[in-house]
Amino acid sequence: MADQAALKYYREYKPDLFWQNYIECFWEFDIEPEILTEANQIYLPDGNSQIIIIIKGSYERYFKDGRREKVNSAVIIPQRTHAVKIDHEPGTKLFGITFKPYGLRCVINEKMSDLGDLSIPLEKKFGSEDAGLLKKAAEEPAESRRLLEIQKILTRHFQALPVRTKIIDIVNFLNLNHAVSISELAKKFSMSTSSLEKLFSGYIGISAKNYMRIIRLNKSVRYFKRHSKYLPNLTATGIEAEFYDQSHFIKDFRQVSGVTPGQYFKENNFFNIFIISSIDKKTDF
C-alpha cells in the first residue's frame, strides 16, 4: 500500500515542544475492513511504550509463548522484548501515544521493569477520573483541541527525570550506535555495567542489550522495506543492521519474532506503521 494511501487509515501528530522530549508522536489508526489483512500481523517491539485508547472496537494480542489478551479499553502497553501477533476487530478505531523509551516513566513514576509486558488498564496508573478524561479528549473531533487536552492531562502526572540521570544521552547514543558492547557503553558513560543495567531496568524496562537488539532488528525491517524491489538478501540486510553475520541476524530475529526474517518479510505487509514510523526516528542511513 502506498504511503499516501496509508494516510487515510493512519495519521501521526507531533506533540508540543515540551513533550517532544518524552513523546515520539500521537497517532490515530482506523482499521477498516479493506486493510484488515495488512493491519493484522506480527508487530516487532520498537523500544517504546504506549498508551492506547480504544475509541471503537477491540483487538487481541497473541504472544509467542502462547499467552493472549483482548484489549477493549484504554491501556498502557509497556516495553516488550518479543513480537506479538495482533488481530483487530474490523472497524476498530485507535488513538495512541507513543512515548520515547524513557518517556512513560515520567508520567507514572514507577520502575518500568515491574510493569511486565501485558497491557495495563489506564485507570490503574492514572486514576479513573483522568483515564476517563483522556478517553474523552481522544474522541474530540478538533485536532488542536484534542492534542491540547491530552497534553494537559499528561502534564498533571509529569515528573521530570532526576537531573543526573544519563538515560537520555545513552538512548540517543544507542539510536545511532547499535552494535557497541555493554562494557564499552558503560565505559563511555563512566559507569559500571551493573549500574547501566539498573538504569535501563528502572527507566526503560528492558536491558540495554535487548534495547540494542530491538533497534537493530527494526533497522533491518526498514532497510528491507526501502530496498525490497531490489530483492536484498539476508546477508546484506543483516550487515546494514549492524549484525556480526547472517547467522546472528537470523538467530536474533527468530528469538524476538518467533519466525525467521525470510518468513517475516514474506508474510508481513509493510503497512506495519507502528514499526516503520518509529524506525525513521531511530536510525540513520
d(CA 221, CA 267): 13
Lowest mean pLDDT among 100-109, 129-138, 238-247: 238-247
> Quick check: 205 pLDDT over 70?
yes
> Quick check: 195 pLDDT over 70?
yes
d(CA 201, CA 223): 29
B/e letters for 110-137, b = 16+ CB within 10 Å, e = fewer, are eebbebebebeebbebbeeebbebbbeb
Burial class of 48 by CB neighbour count within 10 A (0 to 12, 13 to 18, 19+):
buried
Of 70, 71, 41, nearest to 276 by C-alpha is 41
Asked whether 135 and 53 are in contact (CB, 8 A), the reply is: yes
> Quick check: 122 pLDDT over 70?
yes
137 and 249 co-located in one domain: no
| Overall average pLDDT of the 142-162 stretch | 95
Three-class DSSP category at 244: coil
Of 59, 80, 69, nearest to 217 by C-alpha is 80
Question: Do the domain assignments include residue 185?
Answer: yes
65 and 173 co-located in one domain: no
Give me the phi and psi of 47, to 5 degrees please. Answer: 90, 5
| Overall average pLDDT of the 181-208 stretch | 95
Asked whether 60 and 92 are in contact (CB, 8 A), the reply is: no
User: 128: which 3 cell numbers?
Assistant: 479513573
105 and 181 co-located in one domain: no
Asked whether 81 and 45 are in contact (CB, 8 A), the reply is: yes
Question: Do the domain assignments include residue 217?
Answer: yes
B/e letters for 178-195, b = 16+ CB within 10 Å, e = fewer, are bebeeeebbeeeebeeee
Question: Do the domain assignments include residue 261?
Answer: yes
38 and 77 co-located in one domain: yes
Question: Do the domain assignments include residue 162?
Answer: no
Indicate the average pLDDT of the chain.
Answer: 87
Query: For residue 268, what pLDDT band results from cuts at 50, 70 and 90?
Result: low
The answer to pTM > 0.85 is yes
Predicted pLDDT at 277: 47
28 and 143 co-located in one domain: yes
Beta pairing partners, 93: 30, 56
Collect contacts of 157-163 with beta carbons under 8 A, ≥24 apart.
157/107, 157/108, 157/126, 157/130, 158/106, 158/107, 159/106, 159/107, 159/109, 160/106, 161/102, 161/105, 161/106, 161/203
Domain range enclosing 111: 3-157
Query: For residue 188, what pLDDT band results from cuts at 50, 70 and 90?
Result: very high
Predicted pLDDT at 4: 57
The more confidently predicted of residues 75 and 283 is: 75
Quote the distance between the C-alpha of residue 206 and its chain's center.
Answer: 13
Asked whether 271 and 1 are in contact (CB, 8 A), the reply is: yes
- Total structural domains in the chain? 3
Question: Do the domain assignments include residue 57?
Answer: yes
| pLDDT tens, residue by residue, 46-72 | 999 999 999 999 999 999 899 999 999
116 and 183 co-located in one domain: no
85 and 41 co-located in one domain: yes
270 and 174 co-located in one domain: no
| Residues in the chain, total | 285
Quote the distance between the C-alpha of residue 32 and its chain's center.
Answer: 22
| pLDDT tens, residue by residue, 216-231 | 888 888 777 776 655 5
181 and 233 co-located in one domain: no
190 and 247 co-located in one domain: no
Percent of the chain surpassing pLDDT 70: 89
